[in-house]
Chain A
Amino acid sequence: MNPFRVALAVARKDLRSEWRTREVVPALAQFIILALLIGNFGFQVDSRNAASIAPGILWLALVFAGLVAFGRTFAAEREQASLEAMLMTPASPVAIFAGKAVAASLLLIACEAVMLPALSLFFGTPFSADVVAAVLIATVGMAALGCLFAAMVARVRARELLLPLLTLPLWIPFIIAGGQAVQSAMGLPGSYSEAISLLIDFDILFLVLTSLAARFVLDE
C-alpha cells in the first residue's frame, strides 16, 4: 500500500470526523482567546509592554493548545480500538502516524488562524507574514513530537499528566527559536533569519527521529 495514500486517507478520516462533530477547533479557539485574556491580566499588559509580552503569550497559548490538540489525536482511536484494526492492515505504521499528525496539525493551524489575528487585535502587534511563517514552521516539528508522545501515553495511566512532562522538554528548542523569530518579526531585537533556519533545522531533525520512532510506539 502506498504510504502517501495511506497517510492521506488517515488524515482525511480524522479531518472528516472533526468536521462532522466540530468539537476540537471551536473549543480550542475559545481556549486560546481565554489564554490571551488571562495573559493580559496576568502580565498587567498596557500599551507600553504589550509588544514585548505578546510573543511570550503567543507561545504559551500555542503550547497549551498544542498539548490539548495532539493529546486528543489518539484518544478516539483508543476508545474504538480502531488503531489496532489499522495496524493489522499492511499499511505502514509510519504512514498511519503521519496521517494522524498531519490532521492534528491542520486542526492546530485552524486555531492559529484564530489566535494570530486575536493577538494582533488585543496586543496591537503587527500581523505579518513573518509571524505566520514562524508559527507554521514551528507547528510542523511540534506536531511530530506531540503526536509521538500522545501515541505513547494514549495507553498509559495518568496520560494528561505525562504528556506535558514528556513533550514540553523537547518543545523547548521550538519555543526558544520560535520566540526569537516572532519577537524579531514584531520589531524587537533579534535575528529573524537565524531563528527561522534554526526552526527548520529542528523540524527536519525531529521529523526524521519521529518517523523512525513511530513504529515502536504504535506497534503493539
Chain B
Amino acid sequence: MLIAGAAIFFYAPTDYLQGPVQRIFYLHVSSAIAAFGCFAVVLVGGVIYLRNESPAADRFARSGALVGVVFTTVTLVMGMLWAKTVWGAFWVWDARLTSTLVLWIIYAGYLLVRRLADPGRQAARFAAVVGIFGFIDVPVVHFSVTWWTTQHPGPVIINDALPPQMLATFLFTMACTVVLAAVMIAIRYRIETLVDEREQVFEPAKVLVAREPEPVQ
C-alpha cells in the first residue's frame, strides 16, 4: 500500500503554457506545501509533548521534522534550478528565498538539538520548544510574497490565476505529494518507535539516575 502511494505520484503533469521550465512549479510548490504540513506536525507534536510528555507525540514531531527538512531541501534546490533558467542566478536575497532558507536552518537546528542533547526527556523538551518557535517562520514564508516586493512569483493558486488544466494538474500533484509526505512520516514514526524501544529512551528510571560529573572545561 505504501508503494502504491509512491507509484501514483510519479504520474507526470499533462501540459504547460509558458516555457517548459515553468513545469517545475508543480513539484516545487507541492513540496513546499508538504514541508509546511510536516512542520505543522512538528508544532502539534511538540505542544502535545510539552503537555503530557507522551513519547508518541515526540516521535511524531521528530518524524515530521526530518521529512519536512527533506521536502524543504527539494523545494530549495528545485527553486534554485528554476531561478538559474529564469533569472539567470541560482540565488537572490529576496524575502521568500531568504525566509525559506531560514526555515531550513531552523529545522536542521531542531534535528541537531535532538542529537546533541541527552536523549529522552531533555532532547524532547528542547526540540519541542525549538519546533514551536520555528513554526513562526512558516506563515512568514507563505506571506512573504504579499508582505514584501519580491522577485519570486506571487500567489497564483490562491488568486485563481491559473488556467483550469494547470490547476487540475497542480492539485493532483499536490495531493500526491502530501500523501507521500504522510507516508514518509508514518514510516519514520515506525522507525523511531523501534529505535526508541531498542535504546529504551523514555524509561522513567533514567530521570532519577544521578548525573555524572561533567568534565572540567
Contacts and interface: CB of A to CB of B under 8 A. Distances in A.
Contacts of A205: 136
A152 B126 contact: yes
A45 B133 CA distance: 37
Interface in B135-169: 136-137
A172 B102 contact: yes
B209 interface: no
Contacts of B129: 148, 152, 213, 216-217
B116 interface: yes
Interface string B104-120: 01101100110011100
A158 B116 contact: yes
A165 B126 CA distance: 14
A79 to B, nearest CB: 8
A220 interface: yes
A20 interface: no
B190 to A, nearest CB: 27
Most buried by B among A156, A205, A220: A156
A2 B132 CA distance: 29
A209 B133 contact: yes
Contact of B133 (A78, A165, A170, A220): A170
Given A145-B133, A205-B136, 5 more contacts: A148-B129, A155-B122, A162-B109, A169-B137, A220-B122
Contacts of A48: none
Most buried by A among B102, B130, B132: B130
B109 A155 contact: no
Interface in A175-220: 205, 209, 213, 216-217, 220
Interface string A52-68: 00000000000000000
A78 B215 CA distance: 12
Contact of A162 (B112, B118, B137, B214): B112
B207 to A, nearest CB: 9
Contacts of B125: 216-217
Nearest to B101: A169
A162 B133 contact: no
A213 B109 contact: no
A64 B106 CA distance: 18
B49 to A, nearest CB: 10
Contact of B50 (A145, A162, A216, A220): A216
Contacts of A157: 116
| 5 smallest beta-carbon distances between A and B, as pairs | A165-B109, A169-B106, A156-B117, A152-B126, A169-B102
B97 interface: no
B109 A169 contact: yes
Contacts of A216: 50, 125, 128-129
A162 B106 contact: no
Nearest to B123: A156
B65 to A, nearest CB: 14
Nearest to A215: B50
Nearest to A145: B133
A40 B195 CA distance: 52
Contacts of A153: 113
A145 B132 CA distance: 13
8 contacts: A152-B113, A152-B130, A155-B122, A156-B122, A169-B106, A170-B106, A216-B50, A216-B125
Nearest to A170: B133
Interface in B23-48: none
A168 B117 CA distance: 19
